[in-house]
Amino acid sequence: MAEPLLEVDELTVDYLTETADVRAVDRVSFRLDAGEFLGIVGESGCGKSTLLFGMTQLLSPPGEVTGGSVVFRGRDMVRLSPGELRNTRWRDYSVVMQSAMNALNPMKSIGAQFKDALEAHGDPSAEQIRQRSVEVLGLVGIDAAHLRSYPHQLSGGMRQRAMIAMALLFTPQLVIMDEPTSALDVVAQRSLMSKIKDLQRSLGFAIIFVTHDMSVVSRYSDRVMVMYAGQTAEEAPTDAIFERPLHPYTRGLMTAFPSVTGPRRELAGIPGAPPDLVRPPSGCRFNPRCPEVMPVCRSREPELYVVDDADVRCLLYAERPAEAR
Amino acid sequence: MADEPLLRAVDLTRHFRLGGMFEKQVLHAVDDFDLTIHEREIVALVGESGSGKSTVARLLARVYPPTRGEIYYRGRPIHTLRSRRALSWYRGEVAMVFQDPFSAFNPVFRVSHGVMRNIALHRPELKRAQRQPEAERVCQSVGLGPKMLTRFPYEMSGGERQRIGFAQALAVRPKLILADEPVSMLDVSIRAGVLNMMAGLRDQEGVSILYITHDIASARYVADRVIVMYAGHLVESGPTEAVLGDPRHPYTQLLLSAVGDPREKVELISSDTGEPPRVINPSEGCRFRWRCPHAIEVCGQVTPQPMPVGSTQVACHVAAPAPQGLTGPAVTTKT
């Protein structure tokens, strides 16, 4: 098997506060091949953003990576020195944040912000900067005239696209996106997702796409990882997860949103609320909300089990441990 | 007035002046908007951000007065409510639930504070000793235990807080609840619970709800009628199944195609990038015409009025041409 672009192994992130240590990301592992699109789905507080921040050394105290490794192009990203990090960050991978409104500098024009990024990784001429900036704006379908615009002069959808243009300045191999569409209206959301997928097809970069909305990733991702309470609940190819969700939580998520087509049916949702990670439930972390809970779920902690091409953390599938791979 | 609906708004218009003293910039948030809400009915107001749907809610709640037009509550024009007592009566009949359950509560008070205060203010028939049982009853009707009343907001999850938001609204025993995006800040897994609770309030408590949302799928799930807004105008309204099952207005069609079914495969719809409408000093004509695949000449000259098409009202020159003159080619198929 070819070397993966990114291999996350047992990554653990703790928030070390005075009163309690909270394990926000608990031994999460996954691999990503070049050009692959991985969707990470989970509810607020499940650790999905912390996972991204941990991978990219963007955590601020009290958050801290306390275990595991993130090997990207042969180097462990969580152990890079600030100098090495500065070198590779944005050139080899880039991050698109949830709210472009806050990620762009309101005091600088779009062009000036592109220039800053380009100059941080080389010594381009004014003409090269202009050329590249016009080029990436063209990629996301924004008129070059907007290089002189300030963020407040752009609509939410355009800001988010400008942010993606900025992430593509160096044609990185990996673009990490943290809910880039959740602040947008449905039509703008759909259009942005199609744009992202088109760019990925033509430029060949890999994407890690974090979202709380299962329906956003369903049409675009190659694989989906569902997170619950800091852990991987299920990871599988997108088609498999939509056709045959294995984890009761994944099944709950699939039936939690109403559809605009087909018959109107009663939605159950998932009763209860996500657990408090200061005191996670014993055994399986989903057991207090699980419709298929068994007595053993309250005492035994499930591992990841392999079922066909999926990994699932649920005792229903306990007879096939993941180590057998 | 036997047929008088619970609430009726006619030609509702709200403009906001922008800029300094000498600039003549006017933002048309809502223009000539008609709305009726009957008893025991959930009406969904659907539109994207900037379409004016929250402005409608604030006009109905009397946060600010309309620039033009009138709102009748049980046949009574609400601008005539001036005295403290009359206003208090109206606020006891029409309650509001806000979008963000994390900022809608005072963090230093237990949640019982808001509920009990509403009971004390708007339910004079209840004696002091009856207030606590009543607070517990409204808590139960939104699916929470009575113990929740002693909690502080920070001790509750988002879904629980939003239910408390509804409990606070219910405490005044309203006939109508204006719910502005009540589920959009909640996690997917708990949205269904709040939507089901809304349907339960209509069926058991007999309240009407104006459900404001950008999520057309959830509108279909709970609403009896749907009103679609675009750039301050009503574009289509009618019974839920009629509007969403057979959308006539190109904007409604676009909205529905953008949602699609998550389990379906990708098929690209159009090159529409979802740019929001400009409503500052708008010119006459249909405000959707720049994005509309069917736009014809008249769309740039005359603002379309809602016309009956089957059981729905559609404001579109192409899908629902005005009866006399000003006709365009009839469009029967979607492209």
Tell me the per-residue pLDDT of B69-89, one tens digit each, with 9 for 90 and over: 999 999 999 988 889 899 999
pTM: 0.83
Return the pLDDT at A101. 66
- pLDDT over 80 at B335, yes or no: no
Residues of chain B positioned with their CB less than 8 A from the CB of A261: 261
CA of A306 to nearest chain B CA: how many angstroms apart?
Answer: 24
- Give the C-alpha separation, A312 to A221, whole Å: 18
Find the CB nearest A256 among B189, B255, B256: B189
Chosen from B164, B194, B273, B290 to mutate, greatest number of chain A CBs within 10 A: B273
Q: B259 — contact with chain A (CB < 8 Å)?
A: yes
Q: B160 — contact with chain A (CB < 8 Å)?
A: yes
| Percent of chain A's residues with pLDDT above 70 | 96
Paired residues of B209 in beta bridges: B42, B177
Confidence of residue A37 (pLDDT cuts 50, 70, 90): very high
Sheet holding A6-16, edge to edge: A21-32, A6-16, A63-72, A75-76
CA neighbor of B105 nearest in space, from B117, B94, B93: B117
Lowest-confidence segment of A14-23, A115-124, B238-247, B295-304 by average pLDDT: A14-23
Q: What is the pLDDT of residues A259-277, one digit of tens each?
A: 777 777 778 778 877 887 8
Confidence of residue B328 (pLDDT cuts 50, 70, 90): very low
Residues of chain A positioned with their CB less than 8 A from the CB of B190: 269-270, 273
Find the CB nearest B217 among A141, A185, A257: A257
- Give the C-alpha separation, B229 to A112, whole Å: 38
Query: Phi, psi (5° rounding) for residue B238?
Result: 160, -175
Work out the average pLDDT over A75-85.
89
Q: B193 — contact with chain A (CB < 8 Å)?
A: yes
Confidence of residue B19 (pLDDT cuts 50, 70, 90): low
Q: B119 — contact with chain A (CB < 8 Å)?
A: no
CB atoms < 10 A from the CB of B64, how many?
11
Query: Phi, psi (5° rounding) for residue B2?
Result: -75, -35
A–B: how many Cβ contacts below 8 A? 124
Count how many Cα atoms sit within 13 Å of the Cα of residue B131 in the half-sphere of its side chain: 19
Distances (CA, A) of B84 to A17, A67, B60, B81, B172: 50, 63, 17, 8, 16
CA of B310 to nearest chain A CA: how many angstroms apart?
Answer: 21
- Give the C-alpha separation, A179 to B26, whole Å: 34
Give the β-pairing of A310-312 and B25-37. Answer: unpaired
Return the pLDDT at A233. 94
Residues A269 and B192: beta-carbon distance below 8 Å = yes
Confidence of residue B323 (pLDDT cuts 50, 70, 90): low
Which residues, other chains included, contact A222 with Cβ-Cβ below 8 Å and sequence gap of 6+?
A36, A37, A38, A237, A238
Work out the average pLDDT over A51-60.
88
Work out the average pLDDT over A33-59.
89
- Give the C-alpha separation, B75 to B67, whole Å: 20
Find the CB nearest B258 among A190, A261, A268: A190
Confidence of residue B326 (pLDDT cuts 50, 70, 90): very low
Give the β-pairing of B208-213 and B42-46. Answer: parallel
- pLDDT over 90 at B225, yes or no: yes
Task: Say if the Cβ atoms of B48 and A43 lie within 8 Å.
Answer: no
Confidence of residue B327 (pLDDT cuts 50, 70, 90): very low
Work out the average pLDDT over B260-271.
56
Give the β-pairing of A223-228 and A37-41. Answer: parallel
Q: What is the pLDDT of residues B51-72, one digit of tens each?
A: 888 899 999 999 889 999 999 9
User: Which is more confidently placed, B73 or A217?
Assistant: B73
Quote the tokens at residue A180. 């880039």
Lowest-confidence segment of A84-88, A116-120, B208-212 by average pLDDT: A84-88
Return the pLDDT at A130. 93
CA of A269 to nearest chain B CA: how many angstroms apart?
Answer: 5
Return the pLDDT at A189. 82
Mean pLDDT, chain B, as a whole number?
86
Sheet holding B42-46, edge to edge: B94-97, B176-180, B208-213, B42-46, B225-230, B233-239, B312-314, B307-309
Q: What is the residue-wise DSSP string for A58-72?
A: ---TTEEEEEEEEEE
Task: Say if the Cβ atoms of B190 and A141 lie within 8 Å.
Answer: no
Quote the tokens at residue A129. 């900067």
Q: Euclidean distance between the first and final Cα of chain A, in Å?
A: 14
Residues A14 and A22: beta-carbon distance below 8 Å = yes
**3-class state of residue B204 by DSSP:** helix
Quote the tokens at residue A316. 């229903």
Residues of chain B positioned with their CB less than 8 A from the CB of A215: 262
Q: What is the pLDDT of residues A158-185, one digit of tens each?
A: 888 899 999 999 989 999 998 888 777 7
Return the pLDDT at A325. 42
Residue with tokens 């744009």: A195
- pLDDT over 70 at A204, yes or no: yes
| Percent of chain B's residues with pLDDT above 90 | 45
Chain A residue with CA closest to B291: the answer is: A187
Paired residues of B179 in beta bridges: B97, B211
Find the CB nearest B274 among A191, A242, A253: A191
Distances (CA, A) of B256 to B23, B35, B46, B216, B282: 39, 22, 11, 7, 26
Q: B48 — contact with chain A (CB < 8 Å)?
A: yes
Task: Say if the Cβ atoms of B274 and A188 lie within 8 Å.
Answer: yes
Amino acid at A81: S
Work out the average pLDDT over A227-244.
92
Task: Say if the Cβ atoms of B221 and A258 lie within 8 Å.
Answer: yes
Task: Say if the Cβ atoms of B196 and A259 lie within 8 Å.
Answer: no
Quote the tokens at residue A101. 């409104």
Residues A285 and A279: beta-carbon distance below 8 Å = no
Quote the tokens at residue A39. 């969707």
Q: B129 — contact with chain A (CB < 8 Å)?
A: no
| Stretch (H or E) spanning A135 | helix A126-139
| Percent of chain A's residues with pLDDT above 90 | 42
- Give the C-alpha separation, B213 to B236, whole Å: 15
